[in-house]
Amino acid sequence: MAGKCGKLYKKAAKVTKVIDKATVKHVALLSRLALDEREETTYSTQLASILSYINKLNELDTKDTPPTSHVLSNLRNVDRADVLKESLKAEEALANAPEKEGDFFRIPKVIEGK
Amino acid sequence: MKYEPVIGLEVHLQLKTKTKAFCGCSTLFGQRPNSQSCPVCLGLPGSLPKLNHEAFGHSIKVALALHCSVQKEIKFDRKNYYYPDLPKNFQISQYDKPVAHDGFVDISSCGKIKKIRIKRVHLEEDAGKLIHQTGGPYSLFDCNRAGMPLLEIVTEPDINSPEEAYDYLTGLKSILKYLEVSDCDMEKGSLRCDANISVRPAGSDKLGSKVELKNMNSFKAVRLALEHEVSRQMEAVSAGEKLQQETRLWDAGKAVTLLMRTKEEAHDYRYFPEPDLVPFVPDPSYVEDIRKTIPEMPDAKAKRFKERFNLSDYDIAVLVSDKAAADYFEKCLESYDNPKTVANWIMGDITAQSNLKNTGIRELGISPQGLAELLKMIDGQLISGKMAKEVLLEAIEKRCEPAQIVRSKGLEQLSDKGELEKIVKVILGRNEKSVQDYKGGKKNALTFIIGQVMRETKGKANPAVINEILKKSLGE
């Protein structure tokens, strides 16, 4: 599967080398993903292809186009009064949790920096 | 070479609101784990955050009090990270358009006034609580705190000693308490502080590699951690070592800072605009309305107290540091115009009791008028100063006014001359030897006689009157 994808994206990646293996390793670390060497190569290629595609958008002249982070570009100041709403019960909040312990969600231990 | 520390502080303040920043869940402290969550703060698909108007108003109020410029257009951003303390996998925070920027606080440190510039004030959501089980491969997560409104107040690196950092925090806390926007309770985590510190050759304007210090849970801990870190960094630099940018944790038990992580990795947060919250453009009249709700600030109050009352700078600083105490003081003066006496009582017995009970001055249940009544009774010699202290304690215990205690126990001082003369006569008759001693020159004997009168009257006799009577009857 990975091999096939690799072949598919190889052509595009050759055009612009926008992401290197070191960056992929760094992003993987930030995302707490353990990648082996082959995956690192695969994702470098795939991400390069995706980013090259996005680079294509940079060719557009957007000098007079204001940046929009929202679809509703004219909407401003949408807020709510500080009024209490009923919360979910602990049982309900925990209902979909893959793992729980007492009233808590149980999650894999993550110690920062490791 | 001489080195100097360069310090910047980040204060996180939990704003006092009924509900969380972006949803209607309660902000009450100490509730059952995971009983204060909803689809929004659990990050369930399809849920949309909506900003709490009260939290927004509080943040503008703080910004104005710190002399900041309120941003014309305020927007929220997502701060992305993979530490699992927020279910959404990102924190709603602010990146390039925070609530406000470029303000200052004047602090008094070592007898001088120093201006500490405020870089920015921004609104964000708090993270949930993780409990790490020792040994096991799991952590437990409680979502209750996730999404509570948090205000981050960041200074420029204008602080040059641990002492100044302490004074800034004390001054800032006092301002924040005056604004009544937060409990400012470090024990409950509603006020937290991180510090950035580096050292550089004295007089240089270059900044060294900065170390971020975390895990300090009191202002004293901040000062201690900074003191430790200043010496650690100075020793390293003097020995020719190169310091690296890193995060260190204060270990209060061992009184050392410990390396937590190297900074670059953890700070790659990939901020981007929060698409679920539209920008905020506060109306100038709305901002002005908030400005009008800002009370007299501690420094202005201190200045006014100094002009009006004949009190020491120390007394004024203590009174003004707690808005409730300062208000109490002024209220009390309306019925009893003796600033020094009132200040002494507030700073002495009353503060001692509120510290002991870990509660505010008003929660002790003694009204300012009640204290004024008590002080008048001392002046009118109805009770002694010593008795008044006991009465105050009892009134606090029984949650009633001091005058009630005095009345119900018949504690009024015995000042009636005729009555006392009779008692003195009896006592003198019983203690002829002491009378002889006194007349023979032993002045101590008088003290003994007064003591006997006091005993007879269960301590209620007015000492001044007894003195007068005794001196007369003993022929002086």
Cross-chain residue pair A82–B261, CB shorter than 8 Å: no
Which segments of B156-297 are extended strands (E)?
191-201, 211-216, 246-251, 256-262, 272-273
Per-residue model confidence (pLDDT) at position B129: 95
Number of DSSP helices (H) and strands (E) in chain A, helices first: 4, 3
> Which of A17-21, B20-24, B390-394 is the least confident region?
A17-21
Nearest to B82 among A32, A79, A109 (CB): A32
| B414 pLDDT tier (thresholds 50, 70, 90) | confident
pLDDT tens, position by position, B157-174: 999 999 999 999 999 999
pLDDT over 60 at A32, yes or no: yes
B238: Cβ contacts below 8 Å, ≥ 6 apart: B1, B3
Per-residue model confidence (pLDDT) at position B295: 96
Q: Which residue of A31, A54, A77 is the best one to mutate when testing the B interface, meaning the one whose CB has the most B CBs within 10 A?
A: A77
Per-residue model confidence (pLDDT) at position B15: 98
- Of B348, B314, B346, B315, nearest to B333 (Cα)? B346
Per-residue model confidence (pLDDT) at position B348: 94
Q: Is the Cβ of A97 closer than 8 Å to some Cβ of chain B?
A: no
Per-residue model confidence (pLDDT) at position A112: 53
The H or E element containing residue A100 is strand A100-101
Among chain B residues, the shortest Cα distance to A31 is held by B82
pLDDT over 50 at B401, yes or no: yes
Per-residue model confidence (pLDDT) at position A7: 41
Largest CA distance in chain B: 99
Cross-chain residue pair A106–B265, CB shorter than 8 Å: no
Mean pLDDT on B319-343 = 94
Which has more confidence, A86 or A32? Answer: A86
**Among the ranges B142-146, B333-337, B397-401, B435-439, which has the highest mean pLDDT value?**
B142-146
Domain residue extents for chain A: 2-56
- Average pLDDT of chain B to the nearest whole number: 91
Per-residue model confidence (pLDDT) at position B454: 81
Per-residue model confidence (pLDDT) at position A111: 65
DSSP string, B71-131: PSSB--EEEE---TTSTTSEEEE-SSS-SEEEEEEEEEETTEEEEEEEEEEEEEEPP-EEE
Per-residue model confidence (pLDDT) at position A114: 39
Are B86 and B128 within 8 A, CB to CB?
yes
Cross-chain residue pair B26–A112, CB shorter than 8 Å: no
Which has more confidence, A15 or B212? Answer: B212
pLDDT over 60 at A10, yes or no: no
Per-residue model confidence (pLDDT) at position B441: 84
> How close is the nearest chain B Cα to the Cα of A12, in Å?
25
Q: Is the Cβ of A102 closer than 8 Å to some Cβ of chain B?
A: yes
Cross-chain residue pair A105–B51, CB shorter than 8 Å: no
pLDDT over 90 at B442, yes or no: no
Which has more confidence, B133 or B72? Answer: B72
How far is B259 from B249, CA to CA, in rounded Å?
Answer: 6
Q: Which residues pair with B105 in a beta bridge?
A: B116
pLDDT over 50 at A14, yes or no: no
How far is B119 from B155, CA to CA, in rounded Å?
Answer: 5
Q: Which long-range contacts (CB under 8 A, 24 or more apart) does A17-22 make?
A: A17/A48, A18/A48, A18/A51, A18/A52, A18/A55, A19/A44, A19/A47, A19/A48, A19/A51, A20/A44
- Of B293, B361, B281, nearest to B328 (Cα)? B361
pLDDT over 90 at B327, yes or no: yes
Cross-chain residue pair A109–B138, CB shorter than 8 Å: yes
| A17 pLDDT tier (thresholds 50, 70, 90) | low
Nearest to B82 among A31, A77, A88 (CB): A31
| B346 pLDDT tier (thresholds 50, 70, 90) | very high
DSSP-derived 3-state class of residue B14:
strand
Phi, psi of B187 (to 5 degrees): -65, -35
pLDDT over 90 at B134, yes or no: no
Per-residue model confidence (pLDDT) at position A53: 87
> Which of A27-41, B30-44, B69-83 is the least confident region?
A27-41
Number of DSSP helices (H) and strands (E) in chain B, helices first: 17, 15
How far is A93 from A77, CA to CA, in rounded Å?
Answer: 30
Mean pLDDT on A40-44 = 91
Are B166 and B116 within 8 A, CB to CB?
no
What spatial distance separates the first Cα and last Cα of chain A, rounded to whole Å? 30
pLDDT over 50 at A2, yes or no: no
Are B273 and A68 within 8 A, CB to CB?
no
Chain A residues in contact with B258 (beta carbon < 8 A): none
How far is B402 from B216, CA to CA, in rounded Å?
Answer: 41
pLDDT over 50 at A5, yes or no: no
The H or E element containing residue B155 is strand B149-155
pLDDT over 50 at A107, yes or no: yes
- Of B115, B120, B95, nearest to B10 (Cα)? B120
pLDDT tens, position by position, B248-297: 999 999 999 998 865 455 567 889 999 999 999 999 999 999 999 999 99
Among chain B residues, the shortest Cα distance to A73 is held by B278
> How close is the nearest chain B Cα to the Cα of A1, in Å?
27
Among chain A residues, the shortest Cα distance to B132 is held by A109
How far is B121 from B56, CA to CA, in rounded Å?
Answer: 12
Cross-chain residue pair A104–B140, CB shorter than 8 Å: yes
Q: Is the Cβ of A54 closer than 8 Å to some Cβ of chain B?
A: no
Counting beta carbons within 10 angstroms of the beta carbon of residue B334, is it exposed (0 to 12), middle (13 to 18) or buried (19 or more)? exposed
Are A45 and A10 within 8 A, CB to CB?
yes
pLDDT over 60 at A6, yes or no: no
Percent of chain B at pLDDT exceeding 90 = 66
> How close is the nearest chain B Cα to the Cα of A37, in Å?
20
The interface predicted TM-score (ipTM) is 0.77
Residues of chain B by 3-state class (helix, strand, coil), percent to 5: 40, 20, 35
pLDDT over 60 at A11, yes or no: no
How far is B266 from B307, CA to CA, in rounded Å?
Answer: 52
Per-residue model confidence (pLDDT) at position B270: 86
> How close is the nearest chain B Cα to the Cα of A8, in Å?
28
Mean pLDDT on B206-219 = 90
What is the DSSP secondary structure assignment for residue B30, as one 8-state letter?
A: S
pLDDT tens, position by position, A54-102: 888 888 888 888 777 777 768 899 999 999 999 999 999 999 999 999 9
- Locate CATH 1.10.10.410 in chain B: 417-473
DSSP-derived 3-state class of residue B195:
strand
Per-residue model confidence (pLDDT) at position B157: 96
Q: Which residue of A25, A69, A75, A89 is the best one to mutate when testing the B interface, meaning the one whose CB has the most B CBs within 10 A?
A: A69
Are B185 and B191 within 8 A, CB to CB?
yes
Per-residue model confidence (pLDDT) at position B98: 98
Domain at B417-473: CATH code: 1.10.10.410
